[in-house]
Amino acid sequence: AMEQLVDEGLAKAVGVSNFNSEQLGRILANCRIPPACLQIESSPYFVNGRLIDFAQRAGITVVAYSPLGSPKRPWAKPGDPQLLDEPLLKAIGAKYGKSPAQVVLRFQLERNVGVVPNDEAPSDERPLISDDAASAVAGKDGDVDIETALDQAGYGRLHLAVMSLCAWACTSDAVEIVCVSFILPAAECDLGLTSFDKGALNAVIFAGMLVGGLLWGAAGDAVGRRATLIWSLTVNATGGLASCLAPNFWTFLALRFLSGLGVGGSYPVIFSYYSEWQSRRRRGAAVAALSCCWMLGGLITAAGAWLVVPRPGWTPFNLFGGSVPFHSWRLFVALCSLPSLTSAALFPCVPESPKYLLQMGRVDEATALMNRVAAGNGIQEVPAFSRVFMRSSVSRPPRSRMGRCAQMLRSLLDLFLPPSPPPSAAAHWSSIQPCIWLLWPAAVVSRTVQTSGSLRRLCLQSGLRVNGSSTFNDSDSNACDPQVLSASRPYMESFLVNASNLPRNLLSIVLMDRLGRRTILSASMLLTAVSVFLVATVRVQWQALALSCAFAGLSASGWNALGVVSTELLPTGLRSTALGVSGALSRVASLLSNLMFGALIDAGCAGPLISAAGLMTLGSLLACLFPNTTGVSVL
């Protein structure tokens, strides 16, 4: 009934009072709109800490009634202790020039608990809380929550610096992922690669990303966004740069796994870090713009490969006593590591995420950072923030290495094994968790078909017969022929396919906050599913290229919307971990989809087409179950 009132616009939210953890757990497991507020009794005499922790870590704001201990309660007996007469409270108040009531209220506010005090002092007595004291404790002198602070601080140079650096780091991920596919023809001759070896090189980076997503994602919540990004980008750059000197296949394979290990950690932490800098008004368009960096990375890689790899006049020079001939493809691999290397070098120049600082209880640092942002943006009408706070749970940062490792493991377990008490994920996240675990693999199938060229070659490589003859001859018997190695057409086609993402990427940025994430995601995946069946109409090369471009453009906006909604459905304390798990699932989907296409294609085109379209249609339906997160505070 209360949810219906919200749907009809007669109420803005649903709240509960005096519910225990078991009752809250039943509601969160069955509700569509989770409670926004829990009102319970709480004071230093009755801290109620376990229930408050349970509710806050489920994303429910807690409001305490009787925070002063109900000194005028009718059932009080003579001789009962009075909270405001406690010597410790009086001593703390005397030290800071505050009344015991102010000290008690401040105690609750520091726990992110709202207060509803009741001053029933007789007219001839001094009020328990004076007007000036109430104003100071309630935060009317500049205390704001983080979402309000992000809105009031404006958007300026520091935001642009964070945006540019995150965009460049995200681009470096795309470069590392797709660069191997451009060097395989040349590396095949240099390293003596078999078909199995080439498949292993394509798959090993995804295996590294699977492990890296779990490892670095959890580290992002336990250690910090910025520190984790620096280390993951450094690992990425080290593996990529060293692989250009690999003397044989197995060394090259191991170093590409190391590069994938770094790439897997960059994505979840970059999106967590960047989204936590955005106000609710800008978040959708800003995160969608960051998602476009996949296209930028693809364009840069295709253009670089076009310029560097097909060098018929290149004279290789020998390294390590002649055991490693340095061909042009090795130079290309080295150049592809520069984006991640420069990103790792520049990230120490930007501050930590303000929401993460608050999540770790570093209120003074977060407040100073928001004041710095406002001052840098020339916001004069906004008073200095005396305190920035977050209306959700606050964690204590682990001090030891073992403590950090334990917190990483706890974050991973909290996603799948809700403890009792307390749950760690927000209520929205708990309600749609099964949907998003299924939606990520469905979306990745569409990306795999696009980036691997499967759409264009799906039927062509299986010998699609048109009028009784094979349309294309994909024989690679002359793969090491200099004329084949110097051909530029594959690079040009890849560049055009990536460029076809541009219109839909720009459109998704403009419409992300107007149409909503759910609408864009569902429509994009449904249209992509329909477009897959057009493969059967392909007869000549230009038709295959045109269809690949159309498919890439249709899937781009859905991929962007998925990136936005994933960051908004997650609480700050679990955002990086959950995105890392989502990334790991997507890597599993990438591996399985490649295996699935390879196994089904021998039997004809119908199997791969129906499987891919079915998964994308499932993703479209799952997207309809997501809550509307446009303009919603994300804590």
Instruction: List Cα–Cα distances, 209 to 63, 267, 287, 373, in angstroms.
Output: 42, 10, 21, 34
CATH at residue 70: 3.20.20.100
Same domain as 400, residue 292? no
CA 67-68-74 angle, to 5 degrees, is 105
pLDDT of residue 531: 76
Evaluate the omega torsion of the peptide bond into residue 422 and state whether it is cis, within 30 degrees of 0: yes
Closest CA relative to residue 22, chosen from 421, 418, 393: 421
CATH at residue 583: 1.20.1250.20
Q: Residue 476 domain-assigned?
A: no
Q: Helix, strand, or coil here: 261?
A: helix
Contact 169, 340 (CB under 8 A): yes
Contact 285, 509 (CB under 8 A): yes
Q: Take residue 44 and report the two structure tokens written for it.
A: 């230093």
Contact 114, 87 (CB under 8 A): no
Same domain as 424, residue 387? no
pTM of the entire predicted model: 0.70
Q: Residue 127 domain-assigned?
A: no
**Among the three residues 320, 352, 384, which one is the final residue of a domain in this structure?**
352
Contact 572, 523 (CB under 8 A): no
Count of structural domains within the chain: 4
Same domain as 448, residue 348? no
Same domain as 400, residue 379? yes
**What is the mean pLDDT, run by run of 10 residues, along the chain of 635 residues?**
82 89 84 87 86 81 86 74 85 85 85 75 46 44 74 87 93 86 77 78 84 88 90 93 88 91 87 90 88 84 81 60 73 90 94 89 86 82 69 55 65 57 39 47 50 47 37 44 52 71 80 85 82 70 68 72 81 82 76 63 66 78 77 69
Q: Residue 228 domain-assigned?
A: yes
Same domain as 397, residue 331? no
**For residues 115 and 129, what is the distance between their CA atoms, to the nearest angstrom?**
13
Closest CA relative to residue 291, chosen from 179, 166, 156, 207: 166
Closest CA relative to residue 427, chosen from 280, 565, 284, 627: 627
pLDDT of residue 340: 93
Same domain as 327, residue 212? yes
pLDDT of residue 325: 73
Same domain as 274, residue 407? no
CA 292-293-296 angle, to 5 degrees, is 105
Q: Take residue 620 and report the two structure tokens written for it.
A: 């479209």
Q: What DSSP letter does each residue of 482-545 carry, written as one string?
A: HHHHT--HHHHHHHHHHHTHHHHHHHHHHHHHHH-HHHHHHHHHHHHHHHHGGGGG--SHHHHH
Closest CA relative to residue 114, chosen from 169, 171, 28, 55: 55
Closest CA relative to residue 570, chosen from 398, 410, 447, 437: 437
**For residues 529 and 600, what is the distance between their CA atoms, to the nearest angstrom?**
18
Same domain as 521, residue 595? yes
Same domain as 317, residue 264? yes
Closest CA relative to residue 503, chosen from 540, 543, 562, 556: 556
Q: At what angle do helices 283-291 and 501-515 cross, to 10 degrees?
A: 160
Q: Take residue 62 and report the two structure tokens written for it.
A: 């807690």
Same domain as 298, residue 282? yes
Q: Residue 479 domain-assigned?
A: no
Domain span at 27: 15-120
Residue 64: strand pairing partners: 40, 115
Same domain as 219, residue 319? yes
Q: Residue 139 domain-assigned?
A: no
pLDDT of residue 601: 59
Q: Residue 126 domain-assigned?
A: no
Contact 166, 273 (CB under 8 A): yes
Bridging pattern class, strands 37-41 and 15-17? parallel
Q: Residue 148 domain-assigned?
A: no
